[in-house]
Structure 1
Amino acid sequence: MFLAPRSTRRVLMLALCLALGSSAASALTRAPAATPDPGPALPYVIGLHEAYLTPQYWAARLPDADALILDRTQIAAQNTRMRAEDPHIQDIAALPASLPAATLRESITALSRWPTRALYDAHGTAIPAGQRADIEANLALDRLPARTAPQYGLVVHRAALRTFPTRQRVFSSTENTDIDRFQESALFPGDKVAVVHRSADGAWLFVHSERYSAWIEAQYVATGSRDTVLGYAATGPYRVITGAVAHTAFTPEEPRVSRLQLDMGVRLPVLAQWSPAQAVNGQQAHASWVVQLPVREADGALKLVPALLPRSQDSSADYLPLTPRTLLTQAYKFLGERYGWGHDYDTRDCSGFVSEIYRSAGVLLPRNTSAQGISPALDRIAFTEKDGAARRERAVAELQVGDLVYIPGHVMMAIGHVDGRTWVIHDTAGGSWKGEDGTRIQAHLNGVSVTPLEPMMASDDLRYIDRITNIQRVRPQSTRQTP
């Protein structure tokens, strides 16, 4: 083989580089890093490799993992749009000074309607008619005054939001006692609520919060002045919880803020002027952040007290930058966490999972899949039964990191594509795919899992892809497209 002299080869290489042009050279600089080794194949979940269980693997495949999806100004505009356009987001500050009984009755009965199907307790016993009557009587609808002035409060402890004012767990079958049909959601320390009604036994409050209206135990809400409640954590400095959960320091001196669970995205005011030499609840504060938390006095009144958030706990001085890397990293902090319908078990469900990922970057989403999937404030691609496999598969192939994919009752977050498959992370109670013999494997993932999207089956004949109802994407308003 003939080789030109070295000097000639240099000239030829230089000419070749110039021929590529600046745009091509720029594209090369943006190319992703070499694809990481996916590691060994893992058993059970179809197509899964060891490396797929790390956010670093997916981030390394991106040419722009740290590019901002939205900056702080754009996120503020996005949240303003969400509050203005999505009917599932409630501005409790805009409530009138008093609410008529008819309005409250409508709010309560819209939620607290007894299901038509049979319900069972944890022992498989059907809920008797007498118990149902007692639960419904506790709604105290006959005690609604002609007009009610809302009270304002702060949640002092992670607490369940319930369909009815009862702790009674109820299930749709005698075999499955995981999904409590009276469990709606949860609120976290510092969440703001408007209290508009009390149960007959006095133990429960019907509240409006920004994303939900439901029953909460009165012991977890402290009421105070409207200005104090609405002003809580409204100005900095802050600490934003960026771990799946964090906990305050243990303190026997103030049990109300001892080892308090704080979930991802919770934002707490920092008492920046606190002297490092001054103890907080018996402990010197140099190794912690001194944060302010709400507590409930014996009479139900609100009090704000200092507490220690150890520096070892995963938190940030502000919301995280909204980038593909952030979404991947935050999602994987929940990997393996048990599925909790309606935020049961002190964990979360599929829609809570994705909303808390985005909340750690300061982005507001509706609470439930049914609301998220159709939100007019997001960049929505809608599907109907008339849409065939080709359109659905094309949309799946074009998914970007952070895109939210909805099928009836479930949402998944896209994390990347590899070897012709689209991969998602989701908090799921089930999951299924076909084995080598063609029969469907009914998995019981029951937690935050990483799976490929294409093989996932909704039934023996229908794929998840065939049941996609919506894809939602968070992006700048200037690039939004009409569905």
Structure 2
Amino acid sequence: MRILPTTLFAAALLLCGTSQARELPPPAPGTVPPHGVVGMTEAQLSPDFWVGKLKQPDRVIMDAQAIAAQNEKLFRLDDSMNDLSALPATRPGQEIIDSINELSALPEGSLYDVQGNPVPADTLQQLAQSLDLDAVPATVPTQYGLALRRTALRKFPTELRVFSSQGDTDIDRFQESALFPGAPVAIAHRSRDGRWLWVESPNYKAWALAEDIATGTKAAVFAHLDKAPYRIVTGAKVSTVFTREQPQLSELQLDMGVRVPLADVASDALVNGQHSYTSWVVELPIRDAQGALAFAPALLQKNQDTAAAYLPLTRANLIRQAFKFLGERYGWGHSYNGRDCSGFVSEVYRSMGVELPRNTSDQSISPALDRTTFGKDDGPGPRRAAVDQLQVGDLIYIPGHVMMMIGRIDGAPYVIHDTNGGSFLDADGNMRSMHLNAVSVTPLLPLRFNEKTTYVDRITSIVRIRP
């Protein structure tokens, strides 16, 4: 069933309501380029190519006030989001146990390690025991902390990497997501060995290494989050200046969308052994000598890609921000110091202040987002008509994947997406994999799930960020 909360695709439905659904146009004529990616030329790998095709590329889609209202709506309506500031001082222990069991359930199928060996059943049972659920008290106090560095969020409290099939060493089934420096968490439990914390971030619940989290008071955590002025990381990745004086903050990586407040220091101050006038002096969390949350200044060079505020939400900025990740290797659950498809679009939009749920399964059905969804009873007509109405910045969901629309060439839509695959039919009608495994630009229409089914035929939802 289609869900149409707005008139986003009214024109599309008119197109498919009275006549036989049009066939998708075939891929662009001609041979596949030598690089093997259908429909792509070197010019199309530049954001300027796509921005240049737009009318009013810098028109603001949503202003800061509208974005704040949208974010408030997301946290209010979407159960996958967690308003940490609204958590009570204590919670029932059973609530924490249920939350852990929801994520940390032992898989039913076989798993393999990085060498392709089956993971023994005893190992999996030990992981279940490491959850230490018997130690959860009847009432759990809510503790708070901040992430000190980019750190993984895991399904189980372990660094063991496991895979669904032999030979697959990319999709670690225990990898869930990641936290970035300064990300707030609520802490509810500790693993049996004490090395891992069960944490709730604004958009995820999972296990994080205790050494990467500094615990502090609720007041200290939220005062840091609310502090102004600040810098927004607008590059794919930036890093603080090397410092031997404060090794916890030396060359610390900050990813797109991270917000770092400026430190309260004089404009002529020496910071970590050097004059600060060529850099922004930012305040970042550290662990003090007693292991508790503290804060210290670090230098972020002024030639790094940051801004004094979130970027305006425009179609030009969506394209330019997305292209900053072009070629970055696909990283399931933010592994490989990269990101996956839903993390990619989340961080692009976050650089403009827009929050999204973490996973495609939540993004595509969020009650807070303007969306059109398609069910199994919807034939190809409505999906194909909706594709004709796509606008730059629209998010296109198929099972397990999301793509962002960036423009058209001769009417055919193109997308940018962080993908570990990508296939099309060659001239002989055979499936041909492009082995993309990176943030890539591709035409949408030729992409196929198998010989009979295109990506368009599998669209489950289209989300448009708008007032």
TM-score, normalised via structure 1 length? 0.89
Amino acid in the other structure paired with 1:97: A
Contact (CA 8 Å) 1:392, 1:466: kept in 2 or not? yes
Alignment of 1:55-66 (within 5 A): 55-66=47-58
Q: Which residue of 1 aligns with 2:62?
A: 70
Partner AA of 1:441 in structure 2: R
Alignment of 1:234-253 (within 5 A): 234-253=226-245
User: TM-score, normalised on structure 2?
Assistant: 0.92
Question: Separation in 1 of the partners of 2:431 and 2:334?
Answer: 29
Shift of residue 390 of structure 1?
2.1
How far has the Cα of 1:300 moved from its partner? 3.0
1:286 to 277, 284, 297: 277
* 1:104 corresponds to 2:104: no
Aligned counterparts of 1:405 and 1:51: Cα–Cα separation in 2: 24
What is the root-mean-square deviation in Å for CA atoms of aligned residues?
A: 1.2
- Contact 1:196-1:205 within 8 A present in 2 as well: yes
CA distance in 2, matches of 1:274, 1:295: 17
Match of 2:143 in 1: 151
In structure 1, which of residues 141, 164, 168 is the aligned counterpart of residue 160 of structure 2? 168
On the 8 A contact 1:245/1:262 being kept in 2, the answer is: yes
Q: Specify whether residues 42 and 309 from structure 1 end up closer, same or farther in structure 2 by C-alpha distance, changes over 3 A only.
A: farther
How much has 1:275 moved relative to structure 2? 2.1
Q: Counterpart in 2 of 1:212?
A: 204
Structure 2 residue 113 is matched with structure 1 residue 131: no
Do the aligned partners of 1:219 and 1:300 also contact (CA within 8 Å) in 2?
Answer: no
Q: Which residue of 1 aligns with 2:3?
A: none
Counterpart in the other structure of 1:403: 394
CA contact 1:276–1:284 (8 Å) conserved in 2: no
CA contact (8 A) 1:154 1:192 kept: yes
Distance 1:177 1:296 in 2: 34
Alpha-carbon distance in structure 1 between the residues aligned to 2:107 and 2:438: 26
Contact 1:297–1:303 under 8 Å retained in 2: yes
Aligned counterpart in structure 1 of residue 367 of structure 2, from 359, 362, 376: 376
The one-letter code sitting in structure 2 at the alignment partner of 1:445 is L
The structure 2 residue matched to 1:226, chosen from 211, 214, 218, is 218
2:371 matches 1:391: no
- Any conservation in 2 of the 1:404–1:472 contact (CA below 8 Å)? yes
Q: Is the 8 A contact 1:138 1:201 kept in 2?
A: yes
The answer to whether 1:192 aligns with 2:188 is no
Task: Note the alpha carbon deviations across 1:343-400, whole angstroms, 9 max, x for none.
Answer: 0011100000000000000001000000000011111111112222221111111110
Q: Following TM superposition, by how much is the alpha carbon of 1:421 offset from its aligned partner in structure 2, in angstroms?
A: 1.3
Distance 1:299 1:454 in 2: 57
Matches of 1:318 and 1:278 in 2, distance apart?
24
1:343 aligns with 2:334: yes
Q: Give the whole-Å Cα distance in 2 for the aligned partners of 1:453 and 1:125.
A: 37
Give the aligned partner of residue 444 of structure 2.
453
Contact 1:140 1:199 in 2 (8 A): yes
Give 1:354's aligned residue: 345
Residue aligning to 1:203: 195
Distance across 1 between alignment mates of 2:382 and 2:128: 47
Q: Contact 1:101–1:146 at 8 Å: present in 2 too? A: yes
The CA deviation string for residues 108-130 of structure 1, in whole angstroms up to 9 with x for no partner, is 00000011110011011111122
Question: How many residues align structurally?
Answer: 436
Q: Percent identity?
A: 53
**DSSP 3-state at the match of 1:345:** coil
Aligned to 1:334: 325
1:79 deviates by: 0.7
Residue aligned with 2:300, SS: strand
What's the CA shift string for 1:226-259, capped at 9, x where partnerless? 1011221313101000000110001111110001
| Residue 415 in structure 1 maps to residue 406 in structure 2 | yes
Shift of 1:49: 1.4
1:43 maps to a residue whose letter is: H
What CA distance in whole angstroms lies between the structure 1 residues aligned with 2:432 and 2:34? 16
Q: Which residue of 2 aligns with 1:465?
A: 456
Q: 2:338 is matched by which residue type in structure 1?
A: T
How far off is 1:43 after superposition? 3.0
The structure with the largest alpha-carbon Rg is 1
1:151-176 Cα distance to aligned partner (Å, 9 max, x none): 11000010000000000000001111
1:328 and 1:225, CA in 2 relative to 1: closer, same or farther beyond 3 A? same
Question: How many Å separate the matches in 1 of 2:265 and 2:245?
Answer: 18
Equivalent AA in structure 2 for residue 288 of structure 1? S
Give secondary structure in 1 for the equivalent of 2:242. coil
In the other structure, the counterpart of 2:84 is: 92
Kindly indicate whether structure 1 or structure 2 has the higher relative contact order, using CA contacts under 8 Å at least 6 residues apart: 2
Partner of 1:35: none
